[in-house]
Structure 1
Amino acid sequence: MAGVSLKCGDCGTLLKSVEEAQEHAELTKHTNFAESTEPVLNLVCSDCSKPCRSKTERDLHTKRTGHTEFVDKTSEVTKPISLEAPKLKDDVDMEEAGDGSTSQQEEMVVPEVNQQLFSELEEMGFPKERATRALHYSGNSSLEAAANWIVEHENDPDIDQMPLVPVNSKKPVPKPSLTPEEIKQKQQELRERARKKKEEEEKRMEREREKERIRVGRELLEAKRIEEDNERKRILALRKAEKQEEQRAREKIRQKLEEDKAERRRKLGLAPEDPAVVKPSAPPVEEKKSFLPIRPATKAEQMRECLRTLKQTHKEDDAKVKTAFNTLLTFAKNVATNPGEEKFRKIRLTNATFQDRVGKLKGGIEFLELCGFEKIEGGEFLYLPREKVDIPVLHSAGSELNSAINNPFFGVL
């Protein structure tokens, strides 16, 4: 049987032609070749039609892609091997032109590649032909560029053929290596760009957080305003119902009095009273009694009413109102934080600063009395005894003051 391949005596690789044997010899420096009746395999992947020349290539392809089905088309492409070196195209053209002169065949060699990158590609499982081709056409720039080139050209028909270049062709100029100063400068530039990008991202995030804070603040203010409006409406409705109930009670009392009076006249034998006679108006009933289960106002509501009175009484001077609120907040906070300190629990009413900030304003002293302060020594001092310090009440006072300070609509309506 005629030889259908060339077998390398040094490594056992099967080659389909003299050209492949020359490439193999130039790449590996092997020189012992012989004809073989063993054909070069042609295993075609059923999923992606990728040809594999050996079982090793088939196993690598399966490892990378997971494809396991292959069709053996070795017999379809096997043909006797020609041991004659092919003529170059220039030689054929010259012979056809009848020039008669022989041109020396230009020698083709495997391009030089970066050996470190080549070794890394082989460790990743790529065949040497594919690794060499990828490094050559990607300019030996980097491992990533070579791997990207392989992925982009995986379906090329010559992807697993060793690339050849003329021996006199101009080799690619390697990129000049950077000096330590240039490397340091590049690193500094990269760090500077990363820092600027991080600062821009932080500024953007801060703007977003500020917008969110403003939105939440507006929603809280609107919710508080609605709550205060509902509370005001509830109080008005209760007062109206109380007045109506008082009117009905007065009417019942009047009717009862009329009935009793008529009954006494009947018992005394007197004629019924003429309704046409003008009766003296009865004195107004002073007692006010409500039969509705009205919830008594809590201390927090009384404090809020004091602050609302202070705000409405001095609404023309917003700065004075704000100063009064902040002063009251300081008093409540000092006592709640240091209940054992007497200096925080005793206030001189004749103090000019106190009078200017709180004492002269309607509702200020009343608010402090709701916090537990009492007038002593003939009304010269406001004093909160240690045993009467009520921390929850002081906290409630602080909450009401914070609401009044931060709510721009407080006391407007």
Structure 2
Amino acid sequence: MAGLSLRCGDCGVQLRSVEEAQAHAEATSHTNFAESTEAVLNLVCADCGKPCRSQTEVDLHKKRTGHAEFTDKTMEAAKPIDLEAPPKPASEAMDVDASGSAEPQELVSPEVNKEMLGELESMGFSTARATRALHFSGNSTIEGAINWLSEHQEDPDIDEMPMVPANTVANKPSLTEEEKKIKAQELRDRARKKKEEEEKRMEREREKERIRIGKELLEAKKMEELNERKRIIELRRLEKEEEKRAREKIRQKLEEDKAERRRKLGLPAEAPAASKPSAPPPVEEKKSAFLPVRPATKAERMRDCLRNIKQQNKEEDAKVKRAFQTLLTYIGNVVKNPDEEKFRKIRLTNATFQERVGSLGGIEFLELCGFEKPEGEEILFLARDKVDKAVLNVAGAELNSAITNPFFGVL
């Protein structure tokens, strides 16, 4: 069977003709070729018609274009090898010098931009294809090389390394100093413009991010304020309920004490109907919709006194809290040691007392606890027989509430 291809014994590549073998030998310096009965692979893309001579080319074409269907036309394109190589044109094979003597001309691969060559190779193009594209597109830009590849991808020698005479490379005109300066300035201007555009884009992105964060912070602040208002309202509601329960307990206690005193005196129990006031006339009902005003209890008077102290010294929370703690200490000492006179006597001229309690209006609170100011003396004194632990305990409870409740005196 006649040979259908030539195989390079050095690298294993298959070639269709003697001309391809000669070009391969010039490009690689390989000289070991043998005739083969295996045809050169010819896989044609069903989408764009691009022929591929190896599975590697098929994989690269799939990666670049996404085309997946290929038709095997290997046997259709296969033909016997003609081992008689046609003579080369004189313009390619010989270099005639001025004296008329012909010499073989040395062929070398053209010089191309190494950076652009590396970029094309990173895109998946072979070295030979990338070099050919850069050489024939003027070795100017990546875009020009890619455009040239898209227009010449059907060329049969697309994957062969282009060869040019050595003297062409050697005699390639170089840029003058002025041209080099102009080229360098153009490159610098292009780089500066690109950097400015990138900085503008980043600034726009940062501004958008600042606006987004500002909106989020504003929403979070509004939500926090709303939650704080809800919490304050709930605390006020709970405080009112607690106060209502405390008043109800005091009322029940007073009723029980009243009933106990009547029992000890031998009086009959008070009839429920007798304690109720007679029904008011219908005309007056609208005017007296609320319960009759009753005298304030001592606990309420103490609470009002502490609230006045808090409200009159709004800007001095630390001093108010210290005054409440000092009053609580005075009351606690009397409850624990009622027989000790030193705990039941407070000198009004004492500088510490005046600074912590007297200057803030705490004397009125001590008087509600039972302390009295003897005529002609600068002291507050609580007589032993007037020590009422129940009253002092109520005072201690009110002071403790004023110290621990953050909304005391502001609601």
- Normalising by structure 2, what TM-score? 0.38
- Normalising by structure 1, what TM-score? 0.38
